[in-house]
Amino acid sequence: MLQKGAEVVSVVNSEQLEYLWNGDPKHWKRHAPLLFPIVGRLQDDQYQYDGTIYKMYQHGFARDSNFEIESQSDTQAVFLLRPNATIKKHYPFNFRLYVTYQLLQDTLAVSMLVKNDDQHSMYFSIGAHPAFRVPLEPEHEQFSDYQVEVLPHREYSLIQLNQEGLTTSSESVCGVNTKKIGIMHCLFKDDAKI
């Protein structure tokens, strides 16, 4: 794991099979960035709060910020991000963002905790953007052999994106109680699924 962005760059199993995207800058230089304090993009990359206009670029600043290592052991690492002068230029709130990675047998558990250190409401969204290597074994598998399972199983609404990558008020229903979504290249033709 890197201290920059608290981003995991590799997840391998006991047979040394890599699960994460390699970060090839020709296509996409990241592996599993954290999205905070926004997920997505703002119109004109800015917002207004308490009479002041702030610049905020796509997916926020956490993925490019230096995190402190709060604690670490053989099976767990906890990273902490607090505001500094640079962050305050983009986000006027006092906060602590904790990101915990924990190995639980053959699973990497990831949790995020945001603490508001102000006396007033703090506005944010948070997300993860892991890129998985698919197919894992290209000599035996194809991209279309994979599925995503979303829990709990229920109907979900998809938020639509416009040409500029901004969310719209349009929604469509996805899944219709299906348990698994087949992965196809055309699924991502119009950008990510939210």
80-126 tens-digit pLDDT: 999 999 999 999 999 999 999 999 988 999 999 999 999 999 999 99
What percent of the chain is predicted at pLDDT more than 90?
A: 67
User: Residue 11: its pLDDT value, please?
Assistant: 93
Query: b/e per residue, 128-167, with b = 16+ CB within 10 A?
Result: ebbbbeeeeeeeeeeeeebeeeeeeeeebeeebbeeeeee
pTM: 0.87
Nearest C-alpha neighbor of 158 from the set 146, 144, 170: 170
User: Residue 191: its pLDDT value, please?
Assistant: 72
pLDDT tier at 71, thresholds 50, 70, 90: very high
- The CA distances from residue 166 to 59, 125, 151, in Å, are 12, 15, 26
Those residues with Cβ within 8 angstroms of residue 189's Cβ, 6 or more apart along the chain or in another chain: none
The CA-to-CA distance between both ends of the chain, in Å, stands at: 26
Type of residue numbered 173: V
Given the structure tokens 């006027």, which residue do they identify? 92
Does residue 153 surpass a pLDDT of 50?
yes
- Ranking 59-63, 137-141, 147-151 by mean pLDDT, the lowest is 147-151
Type of residue numbered 87: I
What percent of the chain is predicted at pLDDT more than 70?
A: 94
